A = this chain, B = another copy of it.
Amino acid sequence: MSCPGFRFAGVAAGIKKKGGLDVAIIAADTTAAAAAVFTANRVKAAPVLLSAAALRAARGRMRGVVVNSGNANACTGRQGAADARAMAAAAARAIGARPQQLLVASTGVIGQPLPMDRVGAGIAAAGAALDARGWDDFARAILTTDKQPKTARRELRLGRHVVTLLGCTKGAGMIAPNMATTLTFIVTDAAVAPAALARATRAAVAPSFNAIAVDGDTSTNDMLAVLASGATGPALVGTALRRFTAALTELCHDLATQLMRDGEGVHHVVTIDVRGAASERAAQAVARRIATSPLVKTAIAGGDPNWGRVLCAAGNAGVPLATDRLGLRVGDVEVVRTGALAPGYDEVRAAAVMREPAYTITIDLGAGRAAARFLACDLSHEYVSINADYRS
């Protein structure tokens, strides 16, 4: 897979204890439009602070991205800030840019100083390995506990041009809304002005990465960045820009869904579909609360249509609810009508739906016309094992 105007690389620099690719670069041939969304966590890792400042200072015009996995460079004090700057400088040297034109991202264990000798050597090696067909190496080098690389690609015909969108994501825990669920990088050869790209990125993230929850924790390092080289076609405006935004949203939804499926100990990906809310905000609050409730998530793990837990979680969302108006479906099985067990409810059929790897729980609040969707998953024994025992 390739995308005009970009080269990619991923190399093994010895940062991950278990080995494997762990330093990665995206290099734009010339200055690219760039937009990013960063973690909402108040404890932000050094690379997040550096990248946000660089993007602002450069008004959304960057030359590339440098990433390491295996070490988050978070809670590392002044040394961490200096190390993030050193990564930008090394990558800038490797691709012939200025340090301020680089986004820096890190992922892995928190609170350990970066092994800068290895990181520096890795960045030099990645610079030498840059290739228009290096995307797969890049996508592998950003992984940590992920079971597999997660990439997606879209082509979009705009008049007589065809532009490509290429994305990859990593993350298997700490997947939660309010941005930043993970590291995600997207490149495109479309020509989009920085301000338009920033708007398109925010629009694409809201119903995708900001509407999934594995464990409700947002990491110190999360970042999603989009680079547009402009190598193909004229600058997008109007309908073409709207179609680009739609394709970007679809790509993000694809990546976010892959992220859930690959989540720690995940066997079921469940769409929480909230309808009949008084406002979109209320619908989102209810959907998020259901998706993050440990009691709902263990019920999903057990395949148990314990619907009281879903209503209970809805009641904890801080949104006014009329209990006697609530409706609930599991797949196409009506479970609750007007707040009580639906006539003819078939528990055996509901349990059969819950054995599927993917299904929908629909809750109707009976209070209005607003709706929201959230992706939830099970809380399983594997989740506990992975997270009780994990250290990068």
Copies, count? 2
Q: Which residues of B are found within 8 Å of A320, using beta-carbon distances?
A: 42
Q: Is A82 an interface residue (CB 8 A)?
A: no
Contacts A42-B319, A295-B215 known; A220 to B312 CB distance under 8 Å?
Answer: yes
B388 touches A301 (CB 8 A): yes
B44 touches A323 (CB 8 A): yes
A28 to B188, CA, bound (A): 75
A147 to B298, CA, bound (A): 20
Partner of A294, one of B294, B306, B312: B294
Q: Which residues of B are found within 8 Å of A336, using beta-carbon distances?
A: 75, 111
- For chain A residues 256-307, which have a beta carbon within 8 Å of chain B? 293-295, 298-299, 301-302, 304, 306-307
Q: Is A174 an interface residue (CB 8 A)?
A: yes
Of A133-141, A201-209, A241-249, A379-387, the one touching chain B? A379-387
Q: Is A173 an interface residue (CB 8 A)?
A: yes
Q: Which residues of B are found within 8 Å of A298, using beta-carbon distances?
A: 383-384, 387-388
Contacts A80-B340, A217-B293, A295-B217 known; A316 to B387 CB distance under 8 Å?
Answer: no
Say what secondary structure dominates the interface of chain A.
loop
Q: Is A308 an interface residue (CB 8 A)?
A: yes
Q: Is A219 an interface residue (CB 8 A)?
A: yes
Q: Which residues of B are found within 8 Å of A390, using beta-carbon distances?
A: 304, 306
A390 to B294, CA, bound (A): 13
A323 touches B391 (CB 8 A): no
A293: nearest residue on chain B (CB-CB)?
B217
B220 touches A77 (CB 8 A): no
B41 touches A75 (CB 8 A): no
A110 touches B308 (CB 8 A): yes
A324: nearest residue on chain B (CB-CB)?
B77
Contacts A295-B387, A306-B391, A387-B294 known; A111 to B340 CB distance under 8 Å?
Answer: yes
- Interface CB pairs A-B, < 8 A, 10: A42-B316, A42-B321, A74-B308, A80-B340, A110-B306, A110-B308, A217-B313, A219-B312, A220-B312, A294-B383
Q: Lowest 4 A-B CB distances belong to which pairs?
A: A110-B308, A302-B388, A43-B315, A77-B340
